Amino acid sequence: MVIISLLSVNGFYFLLTARAQWDFGNRLDLAITLPEKNVAYLALTPEELEVSVPTYDHWIKAACLKHSLDPALVKAIIHAESRFDPQAVSPKGAVGLMQLNPITVWELGIKDPFNPKYNIDAGVRYLKDLLDTFAGDQKLALAAYNAGPTRVYRHNGVPPFKDTKNYIKRVFRYISYYQKNRTS
């Protein structure tokens, strides 16, 4: 008999499996399998799952292949930024699926930032530049994507902003989900 349960720790969900066996002395022996160190197995809430990933999957995969990035990372950013709403506009004017700010839109030469194909390609290109700038450090690249590279340099690392720290945690949580669910 196998028992499966979820354990929540600091917003991360860990999948625990236990194998139950009865020995001849009518004793129950439970062998619990804990997740690997630093691997978050998670279950997203129903609200978090109400997104249209398959609609944009082909553009995400194409842009990631072109710029050598993990599609799970890009899906996680889109999920955190816009929840896959191509018409999303932030209070600060960031637009589209990947929530590109007007300056980035202009710098990358995007004619229609609400067009999912162009928004994804530009966002992936920008993310790749940030990863290259920060020597592949995803945490710093995500901080720069959220708060701007200048703030990351100014604070010599992740800025001490609650929103930025929560954003990074949320993106890593979504990365784990999308890596486990490669079909979506």
CATH number of the domain residue 169 falls in: 1.10.530.10
Same domain, yes or no, for 53 and 17? no
Same domain, yes or no, for 24 and 6? yes
Give the pLDDT confidence score for residue 49 in this predicted structure: 61
Six token digits for residue 68: 């050598």
The total number of structural domains in the chain stands at 2
What is the C-alpha separation between 28 and 53, in angstroms, rounded? 43
Same domain, yes or no, for 100 and 128? yes
Same domain, yes or no, for 60 and 106? yes
Structural domain containing residue 89:
49-180
How confident is residue 6, by pLDDT bands cut at 50, 70 and 90? Answer: very low
Same domain, yes or no, for 169 and 99? yes
This prediction has a pTM of 0.73
Catalytic residues: 81
Same domain, yes or no, for 93 and 33? no
What is the C-alpha separation between 164 and 145, in angstroms, rounded? 9
How confident is residue 46, by pLDDT bands cut at 50, 70 and 90? Answer: low
End-to-end CA distance of the chain: give it in Å, rounded: 30
Between 71-82 and 138-147, two packed helices, what is the crossing angle to 10 degrees? 30
Find the angle CA(171)-CA(50)-CA(47) to the nearest 5 degrees: 75
Same domain, yes or no, for 11 and 60? no
Q: For residue 27, is pLDDT > 90?
A: no
How confident is residue 54, by pLDDT bands cut at 50, 70 and 90? Answer: confident
38 and 54 Cβ atoms separated by less than 8 Å: no
Same domain, yes or no, for 73 and 32? no
What is the C-alpha separation between 116 and 161, in angstroms, rounded? 29
Q: What is the pLDDT of residues 113-124, one digit of tens each?
A: 999 999 999 999
Strand, coil or helix: 105: helix
Same domain, yes or no, for 6 and 63? no
Same domain, yes or no, for 139 and 59? yes
Same domain, yes or no, for 35 and 55? no
Strand, coil or helix: 2: strand
Same domain, yes or no, for 28 and 104? no
Give the pLDDT confidence score for residue 67 in this predicted structure: 96
